[in-house]
Amino acid sequence: MDFKFPDLGEGIAEGKIVKWLVKEGDAVKKDQPVCQVETDKAVVDIPSPQAGKIAKLFFKEDETVHVGKVLFTLDTGDSPPPVDTNQGIVGQTSAAAQEINFRRGSQQTAAISSQVKAMPAVRKLARDLNVDLSRVKGSGPDGRITEDDVRASSKGTAPVPSSPRSEFPKESVQQATGGQPAQKSYGPEDRVPLKGVRAAIARNLMRSLQNSAQATHCDRADVTQLTLLREAQKKEAESQGIKLTVLAYVIKAVAGLLKSHPALNASIDGDNLVYKKYYNLGVAIDTDAGLLVPNIKGADEKSLFDIAKEIKDLADRARDRKLKPEEMQHGTFTLTNVGSIGGTYVTPIINPPESAILGLGRMQQEPVVKDGKIAIVTILYLSLSYDHRIVDGGPAARFMTELVQALEHPKF
């Protein structure tokens, strides 16, 4: 049987073979990892859908494979001889690919043709409207399916776009990624293909800016007492092998406050505002491959030490590209700590489809006036970017005021 590279969802269209864990002629068990594939989200293990013998591997390590292409042929005892179909027309995902998608909880994507080109938001809309994307003709660039196409299909009418529409105008993408129109070179330069994590970041942030009304509220907190509390709890944390950071305290405080500020833990889905009653707080991780944002699931239910431990674990695995795709999905609010690198204030871009992101700036000692006297205190700079379609300035300011109070008078 031919095993085709499955549609893993989240807009992933291709992956790079990092390592084959088997060779031709090897016997494998059902669910045994066969290879590691790097997508623009993470490095994932691809398991064998059935027990059998590896008859043929169709790609070499470091080669890129597109969704629907045959990765390997598995001899299960009744399989025909392996035939390289990668040069022909790609059909729908195989039963083996469907097995992978089922394991990932994506039964809907398993039924969609591997030829489908659609953004995650479009795929979600199709699921909500019960539309089979494999039967929809895309009106976007390069045949990409748009939300209008899906809605038209659900109503039984064909889309009539005035002209092909791009979710990411060429000029805007060039500006966002530092690209320039083709021009004469006036000196040495390096040209690197925009792909992988870098391409995913470009797409997501352009989508965020184009599809939300972003504003930023800045404030600062006197975290002198918080730093003293951290020093007092640091020894206990270290005895448990935990690195206790200020970020952990901020995440704990934010997770508690979001319950009384639901608009900051929300998103827009079509004509609906979705207020999420679960709190998966994302942490932006700076890696050699680019910015990755895994999230702490159920952060409101975890202790300070558990949060600190998970931050370290996610950061380490992000830098080693060992995160699982699901660890970067279903986030509800994001935090980014640029102060650890440098900088006072930041205007972070919202991680779509979330409604807000909190940026932590530099933490430093400063002179302030307290009770009519000059005192030296430790200041933490904070920046909250929010989607003004969902969150007004007043609620954003109240959230920040409460967060500052929680950090200035810590009760962790």
Active-site positions read: 388
Distance CA 89, CA 7 (A): 16
Mapped onto helix, strand or coil, the DSSP state of residue 363 is strand
Exposed, middle or buried: residue 76 (CB in 10 Å: 0-12, 13-18, 19+)?
Answer: middle
Distance CA 52, CA 77 (A): 7
Chain-centroid distance of CA 137 in Å reads 27
Would you say the C-alpha torsion 101, 105, 111, 115 has a positive or negative sign? negative
- Strand-pairing partners, residue 337, are 360
Tokens of 127: 């699921």
Alpha-carbon radius of gyration of the chain: 24
Instruction: Give which of 280, 349, 281, 290 is closest to 40, Cα–Cα.
Output: 290
The half-sphere exposure of 362 on its side-chain side, counting CA atoms within 13 A, is 8
Gap between the Cα atoms of 357 and 400, Å rounded: 12
Residue 142: DSSP 8-state: G
Handedness of CA 204, 209, 212, 218 (dihedral sign): positive
* Separation between Cα atoms, residue 48 and residue 97, nearest integer Å: 10
**Type of residue found at 108:** Q
Strand partners, 107: none
Residues in a beta bridge with 273: 268
Please list, residue by residue across 308-333, b when 16 or more beta carbons sit within 10 angstroms of its beta carbon and e when fewer do: bbbbbebbebbeebebebebbeebbb
**Calpha distance 397→402 (Å, rounded):** 9
Which residues does 167 contact at the CB level (< 8 Å), separation at least 6? 119, 140, 144, 146, 207, 210
- Alpha-carbon distance of 48 to 37, in angstroms, equals 13
Instruction: Find the distance separating the first CA and the last CA of the chain, reported in whole Å.
Output: 56
